[in-house]
Amino acid sequence: MKKFDYLKPKTIDEALSLLNQYGKKAKFIAGGTDVIVMIKQKTMAPEVLISLRGIPGLDQIQYDGSLRIGPMVTHRAIEKSELIRKEFSALADAADVLGSVQIRNVGTAVGNICTAAPSADTATPLLVLATQVKIKSLKGERTIPIEAFFKGPGETVLNEGELVTELIIPKPLPNTGSAYWKHQRRLALDLPILGVSALVSLDKNTISCSDILCTTSPISTILHAMEQDQLVCKEVRIGLGVAAPTPMRAAKAENLLRGQKISDELLQEVAEAASKEAQPRDTLRGEAWYRRDMIKVSVKRMVMKSIERVVRPEETVFPVRLW
Amino acid sequence: MPKRTFEFILNGEPVQVEIEPYLTLLQLLRDRLELTGTKEACGMGECGACTVLLDGKPINSCIFPPLEVEGKSVTTIEGLMDAQGNLHPIQKAFIEHGAIQCGFCTPGMVLSAKALLDENPKPTEEEIRNGIAGNLCRCTGYLQILQAIKAASNQT
């Protein structure tokens, strides 16, 4: 493997100074599950790796009204967090399916978005959770919405000398549920053919018959039964991964649903709009037409799953239980 | 660039090493410390053959920077025997249930199983499957491996 030196600063400022000192020759490393692989595959050849692992406090998940995730928080820590599973469920769904236990023990959510693959599992959950990204350099700090963070496949807006120091996720509205589905062939160690996230905030958290969600009835049947409850969607966000050069929000689809009563016909329209907005390609893992078809199916299901998590919160069941 | 010296606990014993900073943990274990029980298959963190336990948690050593084990505890497959040289109950269960064919995935698989049972002594079948999902086996079809882990969990 390419030779590199490995430095372990003790503070963020020290890390930033080292990056400034070495410039393009250096790269930050958090877990290393992407960086070391890229060095081995020769798509990256830094002469110096600056490790963040030795800096205390970066592996904290904090909640002070907003959820704050540091750059050394592993996917495993997210997977095990009761708070994230209950209140920010889409992110927990992503942590469940990302890589493998071994990868999750080492890899980080911040690292996942900095590698910026359009398929990044944590990306669309963070998009629908309205995440802000805090970025620090020797010149100061800036905070940007995660929508503005991705520039292209594998590219972020991080300038030379910048480091992501925190992901900030605001407390959702009451009666909010979120979900992420990774469409993959294997149950682990796979990249998604398609990733779909949704977040829905409703005007209430009970329906007259929540048991219908526990059946294997077709989704249209369940939605027709729920129409009598006249659930209003106060806020909705839909994220699509592997459907464009960057993880994207299906904004036009969202606009159709926001403020409206939930119904089968409307969700069908929303799903079709999302499918039209997406820009999937033909790739190794699937062709564009298939991705468009699956967006139609899975956007509807992920909105349903988000609603289920509002009206049946005691059963935060992994999205695999679908209709 | 200069070599780096650091200490860590390896299979219960303190050890000091001096290595080039760009090695992987797998290279340190196999090539320098001559513990060849841990295997290299894909070399990219996608198969789990290189699994070792870091402070009890399974990691892919083929992509892990060794300087980060300083002050921590690493367990390889060689560390599973007890002081008298008896096999660990999980190893015995693997043998009894025919969960080993070519044996290449076995060190990593056994360590993942150990980490799973240490954290969750009575896992459901789904929890076992998730626990070893990061370890690929090309020979067995996993059935005997699941049975072995289930049997081992019933013994503790």
10 Å Cβ neighbour count for A323? 18
Q: What is the pLDDT of residue A214?
A: 79
Is the confidence at residue A318, as pLDDT, over 70?
Answer: no
10 Å Cβ neighbour count for A230? 12
CATH node for A5-51? 3.30.43.10
Cβ atoms B76, B37 nearer than 8 A = yes
Q: What is the pLDDT of residue B54?
A: 98
CB contact under 8 A, B134 and A101: yes
Q: What is the pLDDT of residue B95?
A: 98
Q: Is A13 on the interface with B (CB under 8 A)?
A: no
> What's the pLDDT tens digit per position in A101-118?
999 999 999 999 999 999
> What's the pLDDT tens digit per position in A245-279?
999 999 999 999 999 999 999 999 999 999 999 99
% pLDDT > 70, chain B: 99
Instruction: Band the pLDDT of A224: cuts 50, 70, 90.
Output: very high
The predicted complex's ipTM stands at 0.97
CB contact under 8 A, B22 and A4: yes
Q: What is the pLDDT of residue A187?
A: 85
Domain edges within chain A: 5-51, 61-170, 176-315
CB contact under 8 A, B59 and A36: no
Does this model's pTM top 0.80? My answer is: yes
User: Which residue matches tokens 């464009």?
Assistant: A244
Cβ atoms A282, A288 nearer than 8 A = yes
Q: How far from A245 is each of A25, A241, A259, B40, B135, CA to CA, in Å?
A: 27, 9, 29, 34, 31
Q: How far apart are CA B144 and CA B58, in angstroms?
A: 21
* All CATH 1.10.150.120 domain ranges in chain B, comma separated: 89-155
Q: Which CATH number fits domain B4-79: 3.40.640.10, 3.30.110.30, 3.10.20.30, 3.30.360.10?
A: 3.10.20.30
Task: Fold for A176-315, please state it.
Answer: Enolase-like; domain 1 (3.30.390)
Q: Which CATH number fits domain B89-155: 3.40.50.300, 2.60.120.620, 1.20.1440.230, 1.10.150.120?
A: 1.10.150.120
Cβ atoms A194, A242 nearer than 8 A = yes
Q: Cβ contacts (< 8 Å) between B130 and chain A: which residues?
A: 101, 187-188
> What's the pLDDT tens digit per position in A135-166?
999 999 999 999 999 999 999 999 999 999 99
* All CATH 3.10.20.30 domain ranges in chain B, comma separated: 4-79
Q: What is the pLDDT of residue B156?
A: 61
Q: What is the mean pLDDT of residues B95-117?
A: 98
Residue A259: which region, alpha, beta or left (left: phi > 0; alpha: psi -120 to 50)? left
Q: What is the pLDDT of residue A210?
A: 83
User: Which residue matches tokens 């406090």?
Assistant: A57
Task: Fold for A61-170, please state it.
Answer: 3.30.465
> What's the pLDDT tens digit per position in A41-68?
999 999 999 999 999 999 999 999 999 9
Q: What is the pLDDT of residue A313?
A: 84
Listed in sequence order, the DSSP H helices in A62-213 are 75-80, 82-87, 89-97, 101-104, 109-115, 123-128
CB contact under 8 A, A6 and B65: yes
Closest Cβ opposite residue B45 in set A2, A33, A188? A33
